[in-house]
Amino acid sequence: MPEPGEAVINLYIDADACPVKNEIYRVAERHRVKVFVVANSYLAVPRDPMIERVVVSDGFDAADDWIAERAGRRDIVITADIPLASRCVKNGAAVIGPTGKPFTENSIGMALATRNLMEGLRAGGEITGGPKPFSARDRSTFLQALDGAIVKLKKAG
């Protein structure tokens, strides 16, 4: 639990395809941050009162909607979903991709434009490959970004 008088920081994980859940649990435990693991199917989570599993319906964007309706200025969202990242950035949340890339007010517009362009190219058969494989360097960059975001929110009070 946070220290008395310390503001609560919530961390929301768009969990269905998140490759850094275990890293998030470790960092959150160290900083005493509440974690919501949001998915549209049952996922195993550590038995810890600071980690809450949220299973939403399997409706289109149900997990995204649940997160976007709650994430705000004192929160961190972990997602690779750029439209969800955009919604959360607009709500004032800190948003980090699983590779450690932060989504900000300055970067989210370009990220959305690139996503839409790539989606169009894939639909037209121009691009058939997916993202590059997740690497150890991505994991390390993510850990640094998450720790930094939590420290920044704590200092902001």
| Per-residue model confidence as pLDDT tens digits over 62-79 | 999 999 999 999 999 999
Q: Which stretch of 36-45, 68-77, 109-118, 137-146 has the lowest confidence by average pLDDT?
A: 109-118
Residues ≥6 apart with Cβ < 8 Å to 93: 12, 71, 72, 73, 75, 76, 77
Buried b (16+ CB within 10 A) or exposed e, 119-136: eeeeeeeeeeeeeeeeee
Residues ≥6 apart with Cβ < 8 Å to 135: none
pLDDT of residue 60: 84
Q: Which residue has the higher pLDDT, 45 or 123?
A: 45
Partners of 11 in the beta sheet? 35, 76
Domain ranges of the chain: 10-156
Coil, helix or strand at residue 63: helix
Partners of 103 in the beta sheet? 95
Give me the chain's average pLDDT, please: 86
Residues ≥6 apart with Cβ < 8 Å to 71: 10, 12, 77, 88, 91, 93
> Which of 149, 150, 79 lies closest to 108 in space, CA to CA?
79
CATH 3.40.50 fits 10-156, yes or no: yes
Q: Does the pLDDT at position 146 exceed 60?
A: yes
pLDDT of residue 14: 95
Rounded-to-integer distance, Cα 32 and Cα 82, Å: 27
Q: Which stretch of 54-63, 121-130, 143-152 has the lowest confidence by average pLDDT?
A: 121-130
Percentage of the residues of the chain whose pLDDT score is greater than 70: 80
pLDDT of residue 144: 96
Rounded-to-integer distance, Cα 138 and Cα 99, Å: 5
Measured between alpha carbons, how far apart are the two ends of the chain, in Å?
A: 16
pLDDT of residue 94: 95
pLDDT of residue 16: 84
| Per-residue model confidence as pLDDT tens digits over 91-134 | 999 999 999 999 987 776 666 666 556 566 666 666 666 667 88
